[in-house]
Amino acid sequence: MQLTSAQREAYARDGFLIFPGLVSPAEVAVLRGEVERLWDVEHEGTVREGSKRAPKSMFRLHEADGATASAPFRALSRSPRVLGVAQQLMGDDRLYLHHSKVNVKAAIEGSIWPWHQDFGAWRLDGIERPDMSTFMVMLDDATEISGCLYLLPGSHRWGRTDAYLDTSTAYRLWSVTPEDMKRRMADSPAPVPVAGRAGTCAIFHCNLMHASGHNLSHRDRWQAYFCFNTCANRPHDVPNPRPDHVRSRNWAPMEMMPDAVPPAAREPALAGAVPG
């Protein structure tokens, strides 16, 4: 998948690109089946919330080993549509995944993700430069009422903004203070909702401000994220580093795979219906 000069310029200006329909309905079905298969697997990289203890985040789906390993997610992360796009926008063919995850915003109970920059946390992992991008894949239709992702155009050009550790949600997050966001947003373009049909994708810079609200709809909203870093920008040693599912130790350059999402290669890990 070759990006145009206009797309490259838009990414440099706005800090993101959106690709409607980049993943087919059949591929989305395979990926959703993998989430269902892994739904009840107990793993340190699965954070849960709500009355049904549904996953809030499920990490490390892109590796070939481990409790949450998924061949379809691994293939997609290494496809020309995902890895190839990241390589073009980041200007480097030697990339690895700092981590991957599926975020589940549960119907009615799914909590917010406050305004934040991803690099606010990743720099604490020992990564020196904000030479990173995140590729998002929508596994459900997303609407504003279902708590879709919002991106603030051009905010990646602000550089790093001071953050605080927000413990109000199930997953602790380095967030930007409301006072700072109010001041900055007063002189910024309107936030862009990443809404649309399942299979819509987006890629955004690690310093781009983004957030999502509560899911007030009656349906869950699932999205997958692949967080790319350049191999040259791998973390240096830090005291008490975070575990591998959020701060990968696999810094080998990713190799491109065929541009297809294969069917799941394994039987479901646990039987039973998925809530929602």
pLDDT digits (tens, 9 = 90+) for 38-55: 988 888 888 876 655 777
Task: Quote the CA–CA distance of 76 and 80 in Å, as a whole number.
Answer: 8
Q: What percent of the chain has pLDDT over 70?
A: 91
pLDDT at 275: 38
pLDDT at 22: 97
Q: Degrees (nearest 5) of the Cα angle 119, 125, 129?
A: 50
pLDDT at 48: 78
Query: Of 36-45, 177-186, 265-274, where does mean pLDDT reach its minimum?
Result: 265-274
pLDDT at 179: 87
Q: Coil, strand or helix: which one is 194?
A: strand
Residue 196 has pLDDT above 80, yes or no: yes
Chain mean pLDDT for the chain: 88
pLDDT at 52: 59
pLDDT at 267: 42
- With b for 16 or more beta-carbon neighbours within 10 A and e for fewer, the 125-163 pattern comes to bebeebbbbbbbbbbbbbbeebbbbbbbbebbeeeebeb
Task: Quote the CA–CA distance of 196 and 193 in Å, as a whole number.
Answer: 9
Instruction: Encode pLDDT of 100-157 as tens digits.
Output: 999 988 888 877 888 889 998 899 999 999 999 999 999 999 999 999 999 999 999 8
pLDDT at 162: 75
- Burial classification of residue 205, based on how many CB atoms lie within 10 Å of its CB (0-12 exposed, 13-18 middle, 19 or more buried): buried
Q: Supply φ then ψ for residue 167, to 5 degrees.
A: -110, 20
* Structural domains of the chain, ranges and CATH numbers in brackets: 5-233 (2.60.120.620)
pLDDT at 168: 66
